């Protein structure tokens, strides 16, 4: 009887391995259904990861079947191996209160969580659009928790760095910006309008109330300082803003990156002292060609590089859009590029792209399409 059980167990393993990418939890297969430990497709879109206490925590937008509006909130999953994910439930729930900034039917996107070692708090920032206002609010939201899986408590939403100009803006640049008025540029996308945006047309417009903050990223540097990276100025310019020591507010120090370049979905990592950032263009839910930037200092200057993607559909980032780049804990020189394949007609069916970041001889990152791969890839390099 005991031998029979052993044989059945071994046969079960063989069958499981035979299913390949569809059933095995070990290979990472981009673009396919990714079931959690309950067998349900992971519902954590536009997400980011946090490593804490020997576990990875994946936070993302919960998507319903028919709407991209927030009806549930931010979901959290946990894993020890980056392939088998346990649903930890709702980390930040939208509220029934119609007066709340995060009431149901708001737009709550790209949640990212970082841990503050000094305060021992888990800090979440996210892009927030108020219910019924389309994408006009362009706010950032803040929530805090004592535990990685939450529940997170919503603190506030706001525009960013009200009354503050970029710390590296020269007096000459300020003087030019002061001459700009939207009424002088009634037609968008003309060469004159693009030049005005580059020189600070929207930066000036939003100065008093704070800068717009949409698609976003959080990054904690080696010295513990944290930064908020986001699409601003009507998605025409990225901004990188330093957070306070407790990560709960903005310090007032920020820079503009690629003014009038139309970048969103920033994903940032640091390797060998150099900062790398992969972004997308602004084409709504439709994919486009990835962009890449590098800098020796997070506050710039940033240099643009060609599309880092290699393989079929590279000109459309394999059909996806960047959301995060994970440094794998305990592995040398191991980074994973994460992206979303959006499906706006069936939001909950959106898929994920996870691919290893490779490096050329000159240390420039490249991302090559792989139908499937395992974490052993990093050990074989």
Residue-wise pLDDT tens for the chain (381 aa)?
444 444 433 433 333 333 344 444 489 999 999 999 999 999 999 999 999 999 999 999 999 999 999 999 999 999 999 999 999 999 999 999 999 999 999 999 999 999 999 999 999 999 999 999 999 999 999 999 999 999 999 999 999 999 999 999 999 999 999 999 999 999 999 999 999 999 999 999 999 999 999 999 999 999 999 999 999 999 999 999 999 999 999 999 999 999 999 999 999 999 999 999 999 999 999 999 999 999 999 999 999 999 999 999 999 999 999 999 999 999 989 999 999 999 999 999 999 999 999 999 999 999 999 999 999 999 876
> Look-up: residue for tokens 């990093």?
378
Give the pLDDT confidence of 109-166 residue by residue, as tens digits.
999 999 999 999 999 999 999 999 999 999 999 999 999 999 999 999 999 999 999 9
Which has the closest alpha carbon to 184: 196, 169, 175?
196
- What one-character-per-residue DSSP string does 185-252 give? --STTSHHHHHHHHHTHHHHHTTTT-B---SEEEEE-TTS-EEEEEEETTTTEEEEEEEPTTSSSEEE
Q: Which residues face 196 on adjacent strands?
A: none
CA atoms 319, 126, 246, 93: torsion sign: negative
Strand-pair category, 335-341 with 321-327? antiparallel
16 C-beta neighbours (distance < 10 Å), count: 13
35-158 under CATH 2.115.10.20, yes or no: yes
Helices (H) and strands (E) in the chain, counts: 5, 21
Q: Which residue has the tokens 């002292």?
A: 273
pTM over 0.85: yes
Judging by DSSP bridges, how do beta strands 351-359 and 335-341 pair with one another? antiparallel
CB 146 within 8 A of CB 121: yes
Q: What is the DSSP letter of 43?
A: -
Q: Compute CA 182 distance to the chain's CA centroid, rounded to the nearest angstrom.
A: 31
φ and ψ at 99, to 5 degrees? -90, -5
Reduced to 3 states (helix: H, G, I; strand: E, B; else coil), residue 354 is: strand
DSSP, collapsed to helix, strand or coil, labels residue 147 as: coil
Q: Cα 335 to the chain's mean position, in Å? A: 15
The whole-angstrom separation of Cα 147 and Cα 120 is 9
How far apart CA 49 and CA 358 sit, in angstroms, is 20
Instruction: Count other Cβ atoms within 10 Å, centred on residue 64.
Output: 14
Structure tokens at 14: 């063989």
pLDDT at 381: 63
Instruction: Identify the H or E element spanning 287.
Output: none
Does residue 31 contact residue 94 with C-beta atoms inside 8 Å?
Answer: no
> How far apart are alpha carbons 368 and 351 in whole angstroms?
18
Degrees, nearest 5: CA angle 159-280-206: 20
Helix axes 191-199, 171-178, angle to 10 degrees: 130
- Residue 34 near residue 87 (C-beta atoms within 8 A): no
Residue 63: both structure tokens together:
């998507």
In Å, what is the CA distance from 184 to each residue of 99, 146, 176, 197, 219?
37, 50, 14, 12, 38
Asked if 247 and 116 touch (Cβ cutoff 8 Å), the reply is yes
* DSSP 8-state symbol, 60: E
Closest among 33, 78, 88 to 348, alpha carbons compared = 33
The answer to whether 39 and 53 have CB atoms below 8 angstroms apart is no
Give residues with Cβ within 8 angstroms of 116, minimum separation 6: 122, 123, 226, 246, 247
């Amino acid at each position: 009887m005991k031998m029979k059980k052993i044989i059945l167990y071994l046969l079960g393993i063989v069958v499981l391995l035979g299913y390949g990418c569809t059933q095995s939890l070990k290979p990472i297969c981009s673009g396919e259904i990714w079931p959690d430990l309950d067998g349900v497709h992971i519902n954590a879109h536009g997400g980011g990861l946090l490593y804490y206490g020997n576990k990875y925590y994946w936070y993302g937008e919960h998507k319903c079947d028919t709407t991209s509006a927030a009806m549930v909130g931010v979901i959290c999953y946990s894993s020890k191996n980056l392939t088998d994910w346990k649903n930890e439930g709702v980390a930040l729930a939208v509220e029934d209160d119609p007066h709340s900034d995060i009431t149901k039917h708001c737009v709550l996107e790209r949640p990212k969580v970082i841990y503050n070692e000094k305060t021992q708090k888990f800090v979440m920032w996210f892009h927030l659009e108020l219910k019924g206002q389309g994408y006009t609010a362009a706010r950032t939201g803040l929530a805090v928790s004592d535990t990685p899986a939450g529940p997170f408590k919503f603190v506030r939403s706001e525009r960013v760095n009200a009354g503050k100009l970029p710390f590296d803006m020269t007096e000459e640049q300020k003087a030019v910006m002061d001459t700009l008025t939207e009424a002088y540029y009634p037609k968008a996308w003309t060469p004159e309008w693009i030049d005005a945006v580059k020189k600070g047309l929207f930066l000036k417009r939003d100065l008093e109330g704070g800068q717009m903050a949409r698609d976003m990223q959080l990054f904690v540097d080696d010295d513990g300082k944290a930064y908020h990276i986001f699409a601003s100025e009507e998605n025409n310019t990225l901004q990188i803003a330093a957070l306070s020591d407790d990560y709960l507010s903005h310090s007032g120090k920020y820079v503009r990156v690629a003014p009038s370049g139309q970048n969103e979905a920033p994903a940032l990592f640091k390797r060998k002292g150099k900062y790398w950032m992969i972004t997308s263009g602004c084409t709504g839910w439709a994919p486009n060609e990835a962009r890449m930037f590098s800098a020796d200092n997070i506050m710039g200057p940033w240099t643009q590089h060609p599309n880092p993607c290699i393989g079929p559909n590279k000109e459309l980032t394999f059909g996806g859009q960047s959301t995060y780049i994970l440094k794998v804990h305990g592995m040398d020189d191991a980074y994973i590029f994460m992206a979303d394949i959006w499906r706006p007609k069936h939001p909950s069916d959106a898929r994920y792209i996870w691919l290893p970041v490779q490096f050329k001889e000159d240390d420039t990152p490249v991302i090559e399409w792989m139908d499937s791969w395992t974490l052993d890839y990093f050990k074989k390099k």
